[in-house]
Amino acid sequence: MLNLTEHQEIFSKQVPKNLLANTLYFILNVIIGLLLVPYFIDSLGVASYALVPLATSITSYVNLVVQSLNTSVSRYLTIDLQTQEFKKASITFNTALFGTLGIILIMLPFVVLISYYSPSFFEIPTSQENAARILFLGVIGSFLLRAWGSNFGVSLFAYNRLDLQNLVNAINIIVQTGLIVILFKLYSPNLVYIGLSYLIGAVAALVLSIFFSRKINPHLKVNVKDFRRSKVNEITSMGGWVIINQIGTLLFLQIDLIVVNKLFGTAAGGEYSVVLTWSMMLRTVAGMLVGVLTPVILTYYAKERIDELISVSKSAVKLAGLAMALPIGYICGFAPQLLTLWVGPEFAKLSPLMVLMLFHLVINLPVMPLFAINVAYNKVKIPGIVTFIMGIGNFLLAVLIPYLTGWNYYGVALAGAIMLTFKNAFFIPWYATKVLGISRTTFVKSMLSGVFSMTVTALASRLVGNYFQVSGLISLLICGIFLTVFYLLFVWGVGLDQLERQAVESLLPVKLRGRLSFEVKCNR
């Protein structure tokens, strides 16, 4: 799958390590995420807890400019470093570093205003107004710090050291969560401590990012003399369209929580946030799976190995679909049991909402590797415009469907499912084939196996949940283990061809790959 030579072979050997690091970070994220939600609900109450995901969703809008520019920088810097043009890389790096610093300084007054007036815009209890202001200020400030620090992380991305990027992210979340628990225990549960903890965690991550960047990539040094206005135009010409695309994406992924809060109140927003946690978790899983291949796709483009790029992209879409089908089907099938065990039986009523929010992800998540193709070819204008227009359509539907049908937050979730699926099932695969100059149905075919597998898994899980006593954590784990074993055996034996099996094996650590090969030879 990763057919590179010499330097590129070393580059490809990092892929299994990155996947392992992504997996460990995901496990950490899941454990902390699943434990924090009931902890916050018990400590703060549902209404106050709703302000936490609301604050993080606002950061996405404040932070979209910087993150979009980082996407553009990643593309140029990866190509410069892989072709060993270190002077050009230094100019790209320092232009991005000081450019984003300027943007952040300009944005700071707006951050303060957004934080101060947050109680006027959202339904926040009077007693929580000042705490909410500090929560918003701390959370938004932490995201801006992480965004600026990501300029140093671009070097790790360019050299395919996603394992170190995950370590930085892990330190951030550990410091952040640890401080929240300590401050809650030492004093009392308060939104103020959450904002402060986010900010301190971001500082720790920034320091670590700078350290790793200097260690892995000594060619890049902070030097304001390497700032070039001409380079700003080059970066922003691509970054501008990425910003448009990001705005559209946020109108898909983040607007729903704001709409629910405004239309139905903080209590409804808290319930919606509970289910949204699982959606975000699955998005993290997909990002973990396909994220390891993004530097590889950019490198293939830089080396003009287009056949390999197409092969990797096809395999990535199919494998991501098959990988996501298992957890999505399992969660949808056992939704009432999972909600009961996780946050209490009073939340089991949200199981239809969970199914509505999650089932379509088996289509919408596997296409993520195709975004890297647009970035590699600098073809981000049309996807940006389409995503922005459809994001506006999602917002309008999110308001209209509840108004016309009375389905409250179920209507908001339905709007997202309709618009996101329409974009990712049709436009994104088609546009990637247009950029690559290949058959229009290339990636659609790769998506179908995941849809079929998810449907069968969800039905099997629901039948088991209905006809057997699956009410405890142990029984849920046993069902999950048996389901996973049967699923993996079926997919390996029937769902994959020989090349795809080799692709999966290439993602395994070298030592484990050698042991498996040895065992196969012995069995023969």
pLDDT average, residue stretch 162-179: 88
Tell whether 182 is covered by a domain. yes
Tell whether 235 is covered by a domain. no
Provide the terminal-to-terminal Cα distance of the chain, rounded to the nearest Å. 25
Tell whether 522 is covered by a domain. no
* 176 & 269 share domain: no
* 215 & 305 share domain: no
Into how many domains does the chain fold?
Answer: 2
* 120 & 211 share domain: yes
Query: What is the reported pLDDT for 45?
Result: 80
Query: What is the reported pLDDT for 7?
Result: 46
Tell whether 314 is covered by a domain. yes
* 294 & 179 share domain: no
* 202 & 263 share domain: no
* 206 & 258 share domain: no
* 252 & 187 share domain: no
Query: What is the reported pLDDT for 184?
Result: 92
Q: What is the pLDDT of residues 370-400, one digit of tens each?
A: 888 887 787 878 888 888 888 888 899 999 9
User: How far is it, in rounded angstroms, from Cα 221 to Cα 90?
Assistant: 7
Tell whether 479 is covered by a domain. yes
pLDDT band at 96 (very low <50, low <70, confident <90, very high): confident
* 214 & 257 share domain: no
- pLDDT of residue 196 exceeding 90, the answer is yes
- Neighbour tally for 102: CB within 10 Å: 12
pLDDT average, residue stretch 122-140: 81
Q: Which domain holds residue 53?
A: 1-227
* 199 & 260 share domain: no
* 131 & 57 share domain: yes
* 209 & 330 share domain: no
* 200 & 322 share domain: no
- Highest mean pLDDT among 12-26, 290-304, 402-416 belongs to 402-416
Among 227, 249, 281, the domain-final residue is 227
- pLDDT of residue 411 exceeding 90, the answer is yes
Evaluate whether 300 touches 306 at the Cβ level (below 8 Å): yes
Whether pTM exceeds 0.85:
no
Tell whether 2 is covered by a domain. yes
- Highest mean pLDDT among 25-34, 61-70, 227-236 belongs to 25-34
Query: What is the reported pLDDT for 343?
Result: 85
Tell whether 524 is covered by a domain. no
3-state helix, strand, coil split of the chain in percent (to 5) is: 85, 0, 15
Among 200, 227, 254, the domain-final residue is 227
Q: What is the DSSP letter of 469?
A: -
3 token code pair? 């057919």
Query: What is the reported pLDDT for 520?
Result: 45
Tell whether 444 is covered by a domain. yes
Query: What is the reported pLDDT for 237?
Result: 60
For 8-47, letters b (16+ CB in 10 Å) and e give beebbebbbbbbbbbeebbebbeebbbebbebbbebbbbb
Averaged pLDDT of the chain: 80
Place of tokens 């301190």: 200
